[in-house]
A and B are shown apart, each in its own frame.
Chain A
Amino acid sequence: MEILLIIVSAIFVNNIVLAQFLGICPYLGVSNKLSTASGMSLAVCFVITLSTLVTYLLNKYLLLHFHLEFLQTIAFILVIAALVQMVEIVLKKVSPSLYQALGIFLPLITTNCAVLGVAINVVTKEFTFGLPSHMLGLGEAVLYAFATSLGYGLAMVLFAGLREHLALCNVPKAFKGVPIALITVGILAMAFMGFSGIA
């Protein structure tokens, strides 16, 4: 039951883009086409889950153990940057086709604030998920990160689909490009607000 609650809460109720405002730059940047949007979502999903696992362990067994909590920001961003680099090298070797598909999106993920945001959130915040509020355990943290990145993918693909239609519409000159995209996201966010009734 708790697993289900974590998943629903992370994907719909507290959607990372539409409710928490993380990862907006790539969200607006690469959502012009459905294919690039899904490629980006896949890469983000992979990196968020993996980096949360690594930073969680790093935080628990190194930073907290030696009372170095103040190094969190620096340590996490370095881990993420190194991890992205490593994922790139491994993918290039193991699955060149996937590497080709993700292409330019992989290096861009280092500066996607969703990755650092989730990594910091799971080790500093208390979550409830219908239980008394508590710090997340390793399994919950990774599941939460995975579900959150699925939410990112969902918001991304939905928006890319809308945007493909938007490109064909004749909008006033001042609205062209980003302004109309932002207004569309606003309406999408309003729809997602409806999910907060579930929690």
Chain B
Amino acid sequence: MSKWQLITKGLVKDNPTFVLLLGMCPTLATTTSAINGLSMGLATLFVLVLSNMAISAIAPVVPDKVHIPVYIVVIATFVTLLQFLMQAYTPDIYATLGLFIPLIVVNCIVLGRAEAFANKHGVLDSALDGLGVGLGFTLSLTVLGLVRELLGSLSAFGWKIPGTGDGMLAFVMAPGAFLCLGYLMVLFNKFIAKK
């Protein structure tokens, strides 16, 4: 697989949200607006690239029996690092995303890529794979966030559409997350994932 394919495959063909159905909790919980979705995607991307690189580097020396706990500790270390960085530079976003930043540890995408890709490939390839999957995740979170923001508060990326009133509040709240993701998946199956 070429380096370019490693980056682009996560966007549509192996999209973590719409095709592989991984990492559903942050997908649903943090996409109340496009900005929030984008930030959550980038936070996951950060952990994904770094943990993929570290794990591909240490994989040859980790005994097979304890590889899962070791990977989880590596991932948890990068998540803690991310928590510090966000607390220092983007405290507002950190407060909004709240619990879901530490929960990146148990995001199945991160451990999934470590198991499925990083422990068998080189450091550079693993970094690119992390980047590709992370970008795919960021893309789907941003799209879902944008749709919910448009319907729920009639604005996009925090910019209010002029001359409009309030949106349908339900789309910013819990039921809207499930409904929007469900219908987006239907559209994805219908038009993009054609065989």
B151 within 8 A of A: no
Contact in complex: A186, B178 (CB < 8 Å) = yes
Docked complex Cα distance between A77 and B182 (Å): 31
Beyond A21-B25, A186-B182, whether A78 also contacts B73 by CB under 8 A is yes
Contact in complex: A193, B72 (CB < 8 Å) = no
Contact in complex: B73, A116 (CB < 8 Å) = no
Q: For the complex, count residues of B whose C-beta is within 8 A of A.
A: 40
Contacts of B22 in A (CB 8 A): 25
B7 within 8 A of A: no
- Within A170-192, the residues touching B (CB, 8 Å) are 173-175, 178-183, 185-187, 189-190, 192
Contacts of A78 in B (CB 8 A): 69, 72-73, 76
**A116: nearest chain-B partner, CB-CB:** B106
Contact in complex: A174, B76 (CB < 8 Å) = no
Contact in complex: A81, B25 (CB < 8 Å) = no
Beyond A21-B28, A28-B24, A174-B190, whether A112 also contacts B106 by CB under 8 A is yes
A23 within 8 A of B: yes
**B69: nearest chain-A partner, CB-CB:** A81
Q: In the complex, which of the residues B24, B69, B76, B106 has the most CB atoms of chain A within 10 Å of its own CB atom?
A: B106
- Within B147-195, the residues touching A (CB, 8 Å) are 170, 173-179, 181-183, 185-187, 189-190
Contact in complex: B111, A73 (CB < 8 Å) = no
Contact in complex: B77, A74 (CB < 8 Å) = yes
Contact in complex: A73, B76 (CB < 8 Å) = yes
Beyond A73-B79, A111-B108, whether A186 also contacts B103 by CB under 8 A is no
Contact in complex: A186, B179 (CB < 8 Å) = yes
B99 within 8 A of A: yes
- Within A1-19, the residues touching B (CB, 8 Å) are 18-19
Contact in complex: B174, A18 (CB < 8 Å) = yes
B80 within 8 A of A: yes
Name A20's contact: one of B29, B72, B77, B79 (CB within 8 Å): B29
**A180: nearest chain-B partner, CB-CB:** B182
- Within A133-152, the residues touching B (CB, 8 Å) are none
Docked complex Cα distance between A173 and B189 (Å): 9
Contact in complex: B25, A179 (CB < 8 Å) = no
A72 within 8 A of B: yes
Contact in complex: B178, A183 (CB < 8 Å) = yes
| A126 → B minimal CB distance (Å) | 13
Q: In the complex, which of the residues B23, B77, B185 has the most CB atoms of chain A within 10 Å of its own CB atom?
A: B185
Docked complex Cα distance between A175 and B181 (Å): 12
**B181: nearest chain-A partner, CB-CB:** A182
Contact in complex: B174, A22 (CB < 8 Å) = no
B105 within 8 A of A: yes
| B54 → A minimal CB distance (Å) | 14
A103 within 8 A of B: no
Can you list 9 residue pairs at the A/B interface with Cβ under 8 Å? Answer: A21-B29, A25-B23, A25-B25, A28-B24, A81-B72, A120-B102, A120-B103, A178-B185, A186-B179
6 closest Cβ pairs, A-B complex: A182-B182, A186-B178, A21-B29, A186-B179, A183-B182, A24-B24
Known: A25-B108, A120-B103, A189-B174. 19 other contacts (CB 8 A): A21-B29, A22-B29, A28-B21, A74-B73, A110-B106, A113-B103, A116-B102, A116-B106, A117-B103, A120-B102, A173-B189, A174-B189, A174-B190, A182-B182, A183-B178, A186-B176, A186-B178, A186-B179, A193-B175
Interface residue ranges, A against B (CB under 8 Å): 18-25, 28, 70-74, 77-78, 81, 110-113, 116-117, 120-121, 173-175, 178-183, 185-187, 189-190, 192-193
